Amino acid sequence: MREWIQLTDGGGRLELAEDVAEFLIGRDASAWLVLTDLGCSRRHARVVRDGESLRLEPLSTASHTIVNGSAISSPCVLSDGDELRFGDWAGIVHLLPPAATPVSVSLVASSRGGGVHASQRISPASFATSRARLSPASLQTELVLGRDASLSSFVVDHPSVSRRHAMVFRKDGSVFIRDLGSTNGTFVGGVRVEDSAVLAPQARIDLGSVTLQWTGSEIVEVASEGGAALCLQDVTLTVRTPTGEKRLLNDANLEIRAGSFVALVGPSGCGKSTLLRILAGRSPGYGGSVTFNGLELRDHFELLKQQMAYVPQRETLPEELVLREALDFTARLRLPVDSSPDVARAAVDEALNRVGLASHSATPIRRLSGGQRKRAALANELIMQPSVLFLDEVTSGLDEATDAEMMLLLRDLASGGMTVVCVTHTLSNVARNCSTLIAMAVGGYVAYDGPPQDAAAFFGVDPLGDMYPLLARVDWGARRGRHYANRVHGGPPARRVATPPMDRTAHRFGFLHQAVILAARQLVTMRADPRAVTVAALQSVLIGILIRLVFGGETLPPPREGLLGFLLGVSAFWFGCNNGSKEIVKEIPLFELERDINLRLDAYLAAKFSTLLLVGLTQVALLLAVTRVSGVQVTHLLHVQLALVGAMVTGCACGLLISSMSSTIDQAVILVPIALIPQILMSGAVVSPLPSLADAIARAGISAFWINRAQLEAIGLMTVERLPGTAVLMLHSLTYLAAAAYMLTWRDHRRRTG
């Protein structure tokens, strides 16, 4: 019997294949019936054939599936006349005898549905695609493409698309497309549209992660099987080491089909993570070619990165934050700048539901179990609904049961249309969950690429884990890897020489937009760690008490007052330097992850610097309050305060430089006193006057020298030369920040190029 759905809001008819046993309903583009309401989940419900009847199964725990006015939590058999509701979509089931009319379900949007026609949201996998016509008869006709139904003529429902993304219009007999200031850009033929571009017939249009086509008369959503297809051709990566060059990958040839779940295995050091990073576009300095749905990844990374998600082995989410808070900040950073709070909230809810962590949304990340942390990192990347997901050792450190749960979750994501590539060492759950196994041999060779069920026979081992000693033989990997690649791909493809890595930094996210979000995240992180805040406050109080013990409460003569000012200034410098030294290095994995997506370096440093200033100003205020209450009198208080602020600001910038240079927090902590000791020795407060060479060095690059001068100028013991000492300190701050930016850029470049 044939089955179909009649969409009464705008017409349209979806034919159902007779050999299909189940049909997905939800917001996912791969669904049989695509719903538009944000109150619906991506995988909302499923209709399953059960003989001559239909069974409705709810799939979402966050969004209700309602039958006859009651939410269902378990499968139920549909009866004639049943009333259904999915979010704002309501319908009536009609079950008729096979001789009469096939089974049908009519759906209509309620008044809360925003007036979006269901016919415009038909899944690309169905018999028809979304389309909109631009009348050739009217040269003034404009067609707006975007996510907001109230602002757009053609609605593209994806989080990477702006509310008003682009406009198609006619001018002088030609059809043009203009970007409307979208966050993620409009691309025609893989090239970003800076202003407007001509649309030739059959032109490919990419809005964020969504691909459309201009037929010559219509905008049509390109039919897709979901996920992303990847192809590697003769990919080689060589890096320099102290002993010479080392080849990490050797002529890797792979084809990864869209919607597949791929397990990448092999002994340590064989190049698994390297290959994964190349597939994810994180290491562009390779030789050969990597294509993503037919586009060269290296040449079109700015476009293709919006469809990718990468989960590194190291944890990236700030453990001080509550899970929902962390994901909320991610959504605000990555979603288009015009996204409303409701859109961000819905995206986070959906991501939490997909990984089964909705009930833990209010749990601090540090209190999550190892498996829950892995799923939290996965949810963080699912916010943008990627078409391909790369995971590096996502099951490492997990027990067998948790490993099985994670692999099952990834299999479900692949079943929903996503392409999943996962590096793993555990083989126990690969065969039952993965569609493809890629085995790497030492030396960077692809030894096997095929179904997991056939791998044991290919290697001649039983069990499959016995293949690892074979993969540890470089010669075996070279011989068998080349043979298998040629057998699968029909011979080696044409070579492509390595090209320099391109600038992959996106600047469509405004400086102020990102800086405000990053600063807010930093403040929330500080609030969530009251112990660190208390320690920072006690530092100021204890130093103030020590100063009282040393100087007493009497009125100080000018030379002694100058020494007091210097010690206060050095203390303020130390506050800023100590606080800033840990800020960058403690979140390097998060920085690298966000940097690969859309993080602006200037916004990142500005956010760090501004929040450090707030903490430093509080510490300086406490220090001054304690010293004055203790009886120490500073006769030129206002000028001294300005000099203290200048010292603290310079210290913050110096601390960020130290943090950018450090590999670990321990290293940063060690570098702080190493940086401070020469500052004090060459300040001019310990030895005065300084020898000529030391004086020249101090004037050129010793901040404490100018802290001392600023304090002496404040109390009138030294006249201002060319610039006030406080002004020179500001110049030092800018220099430190510029050096920190350079170090982060250099580290970024070194990471990407190996």
Q: Is 85 helix (H, G, I), strand (E, B) or coil?
A: strand
Instruction: Say if strands 261-265 and 436-441 run parallel, antiparallel, or are unpaired.
Output: parallel
> Per the structure block, which two tokens stand in for 744?
């982060």
Per-residue CA distances from 522 to 513, 525, 528, 587, 744 (Å): 15, 5, 10, 11, 19
- Quick: pLDDT tens for 523-547: 999 988 888 889 999 999 999 888 8
pLDDT score of 573 = 95
pLDDT score of 634 = 57
Per-residue CA distances from 487 to 294, 331, 410 (Å): 22, 44, 29
Distance from chain centroid for Cα 156: 22
Q: Is 640 helix (H, G, I), strand (E, B) or coil?
A: helix
CB count, 10 Å around CB of 353? 21
Q: Which residues of the chain register pLDDT less than 70?
A: 1-20, 29-30, 36-39, 61-63, 88-141, 223-227, 474-508, 552-559, 629-637, 753-754
Q: Decide: residue 693, CB within 10 A, 0-12 exposed, 13-18 middle, 19+ buried.
A: exposed
Whether the full predicted model's pTM is greater than 0.85, yes or no, is no
**Strands (E) located in 112-243:** 131-133, 142-146, 154-155, 166-171, 174-179, 186-188, 191-192, 196-198, 203-207, 210-214, 218-221, 230-241
Q: Decide: residue 245, CB within 10 A, 0-12 exposed, 13-18 middle, 19+ buried.
A: exposed
pLDDT score of 20 = 63
Give rounded-to-5 percent helix, strand, coil for the chain. 40, 20, 35
One-character DSSP codes across 186-202: EEETTEE-SSEEE--TT
CA atoms within 13 A on the CB side of 143: 23
Instruction: Say if strands 70-71 and 76-77 run parallel, antiparallel, or are unpaired.
Output: unpaired
Q: Are 156 and 188 in contact (CB under 8 A)?
A: no
Q: Are 141 and 170 in contact (CB under 8 A)?
A: yes
CA–CA dist 498, 514 (Å, integer) = 34
> Per the structure block, which two tokens stand in for 396?
């490492």
Residue among 274, 226, 279 nearest 247 (CA)? 274
Residue among 372, 382, 363 nearest 209 (CA)? 382
CA–CA dist 184, 311 (Å, integer) = 21
pLDDT score of 691 = 87
Q: Is 391 helix (H, G, I), strand (E, B) or coil?
A: strand
Q: Is 57 helix (H, G, I), strand (E, B) or coil?
A: strand
